[in-house]
Structure 1
């Protein structure tokens, strides 16, 4: 038996939830937690749905089905967490946008915007935690919590820029950031208020951790000035409101981060989750006090080349990731055997503590 096999056979008397909590708190852990939070960072695949006999789009509108499908990720030993929902349209729909729920292999998407420009911010609806898919998510979290699996239970919020650009057509929204700054700030305040409301409701329903994914609010799209003006303050407001109520806040930002390193130093989350294009060694040097999560290429995972996937996972650990994770949401065609390599690699690197 080689050392890797011996390490994989060591028992860990620690729940997955506590493992993630300790990693977030800069405590020594026996291995990297392996998570894929949900929301924009979808962890569900067609093969997994077929295996469990529960599918999209029913899982988007039925809390029992949502909970069962989300739990299957943990029960099949793919990740240390259970997370809901598995899309990033719940908030925008509740605030007035129209959504197509997609299919077994296609995630929900906005098909009609709530307003035409940021000037119409007063026409937006507020999130109602007692109706629609918002209530589905909260009811699913209550079911997951009641099952007491030991998994890290993660609630998900779509980031404020991404919600705003799902309420207003994206190109128009980005133009408005320049042309209508006061109205842009107003819509960001409204969106942020609603996200805080939804986040608090998720925590009350059973979420132990919250992930905020803001793929439309990147440094590459906004540039450092607009990121500092429109993304950073509202992300930080959410973090400040929710951090005292849960075990940790993760923020995922897509794309290269070099242009916003200085701004990221001011980000008040516990964990920064990053894309596959980010150099982890460089990021750790620039953000020495942040817990870093990532960043196994989802394209590699979808390709199914086990040697490449294993090497990428090893590289992430060697380069200092604190939480091993896909770099983005999984493609729905990704195979279970490919996903398992993430957890297997983490266990191969298990240490005595």
Structure 2
């Protein structure tokens, strides 16, 4: 079974020889400095160079045992295209917004629409085409910002969160525009050859906004996005929500994405209870991945697998300082699991 076959079957809820081990990209970046050194492609240059971007994610796949290719390596492509100022970071730090595109939600007309033929959006689509040709049996995951996370990259998050209670129409208007631009970026990535969509919305945690606001301002938009990619392109989706999702109760069951991924504070048994019927994904601590040792990581990985996780994955983005050997310990545990199941 190829890596692509394994992941797509797992996302469809079909039988596989063993759970895949993936790290989607985007917020859940898969790049570490040891991989950069090995393939001689480095941040921040790789954020703006299609060849380097492709070589870097392909290097991560081949050197760490992560069974996918994932791009971009950040959550700033859409925001930059819509008018935010972005710094590309460094060898050990991801791109980040340095200036919002709006001073208030009333400034929404200042925003520009993403042009997928230009800038870093074009870099990402070109990188997908390169990867499709070089590694046809490895699944390519296209990463998009969820509507709340994109909105809070365009305007001060405090202003946005305040609008959820005292300016709802303005918040919905910004959500809709954010979603429209993320969909355009996703369409371009899929048309270039991406196999799976991963939507991360770390700014939409239950701890930050609560269940009621999640149901009104997050759930409908995430579902519209996943239905779009399913109906228009026939592509499955993963949704990642950060933080402790217990406060959301069983709202996660209402997500139409094939798979739900959550933070390390949420164990696999709880995730299976809160998102019944969904393909579960997780849940290796990225803190442990960076600072632990291979033996401990093997034990934690085996625990996740024995608890029935469908897709083994880090719980968040891997730190660039994470040793390759620690990631390999997770990969090797997943590969052995077929003989233990």
TM range, smaller chain: over 0.9
**Count of paired positions:** 340
Residue in 1 aligned with 2:333?
A: 345
CA deviation map 1:172-195 (0-9, x unaligned): 211122221111111111111111
Residue in 1 aligned with 2:323?
A: 335
Contact 2:35–2:63 at 8 Å: present in 1 too? no
Say yes or no: does 1:109 pair with 2:105.
Answer: no
Residue in 2 aligned with 1:43?
A: 30
Moved more, 35-44 or 45-54: 45-54
Contact 1:31–1:351 at 8 Å: present in 2 too? no
Residue in 2 aligned with 1:54?
A: 41
Question: C-alpha separation between the residues in 1 aligned to 2:340 and 2:294?
Answer: 27
Question: C-alpha separation between the residues in 1 aligned to 2:234 and 2:140?
Answer: 11
Equivalent position to 2:155, from 168, 175, 179? 168
Question: C-alpha separation between the residues in 1 aligned to 2:248 and 2:96?
Answer: 28
Say yes or no: does 1:91 pair with 2:67.
Answer: no
Contact 1:99–1:109 at 8 Å: present in 2 too? yes
SS at structure 2 position matched to 1:285: helix
CA deviation map 1:21-79 (0-9, x unaligned): 11111111111100000000010011110111110111000000001001111122521
Contact 1:118–1:180 at 8 Å: present in 2 too? no
Equivalent position to 1:297, from 263, 274, 285? 285
SS at structure 2 position matched to 1:54: coil
Contact 2:2–2:137 at 8 Å: present in 1 too? yes
What is the CA-CA distance between 1:137 and the residue it aligns to? Answer: 0.5
Residues 186-197 of structure 1 mapped to structure 2, 5 A cutoff: 186-197=173-184
Residues 96-245 of structure 1 mapped to structure 2, 5 A cutoff: 96-244=83-231, 245=233
SS at structure 2 position matched to 1:324: strand
What is the CA-CA distance between 1:171 and the residue it aligns to? Answer: 1.3
Residue in 1 aligned with 2:238?
A: 250
Residue in 2 aligned with 1:267?
A: 255
Question: C-alpha separation between the residues in 2 aligned to 1:99 and 1:189?
Answer: 22
What is the CA-CA distance between 1:238 and the residue it aligns to? Answer: 0.5
Question: C-alpha separation between the residues in 2 aligned to 1:282 and 1:327?
Answer: 14
Question: C-alpha separation between the residues in 1 aligned to 2:197 and 2:131?
Answer: 15
What is the CA-CA distance between 1:351 and the residue it aligns to? Answer: 4.6
Residue in 2 aligned with 1:20?
A: 7
SS at structure 2 position matched to 1:295: strand
What is the CA-CA distance between 1:154 and the residue it aligns to? Answer: 0.6
Question: C-alpha separation between the residues in 2 aligned to 1:159 and 1:183?
Answer: 17
SS at structure 2 position matched to 1:339: helix
Residue in 2 aligned with 1:7?
A: none
Question: C-alpha separation between the residues in 1 aligned to 2:270 and 2:340?
Answer: 28
Gaps of 5+ in 2: none
Aligned-residue Cα RMSD (Å) equals 1.3
SS at structure 2 position matched to 1:130: coil
Contact 1:208–1:246 at 8 Å: present in 2 too? no
Question: C-alpha separation between the residues in 1 aligned to 2:87 and 2:42?
Answer: 16
Question: C-alpha separation between the residues in 1 aligned to 2:210 and 2:276?
Answer: 23
Question: C-alpha separation between the residues in 2 aligned to 1:56 and 1:232?
Answer: 34
Residue in 2 aligned with 1:314?
A: 302
SS at structure 2 position matched to 1:211: strand
Moved more, 295-304 or 280-289: 280-289
CA deviation map 1:290-328 (0-9, x unaligned): 000000000000013222211110111111110000000
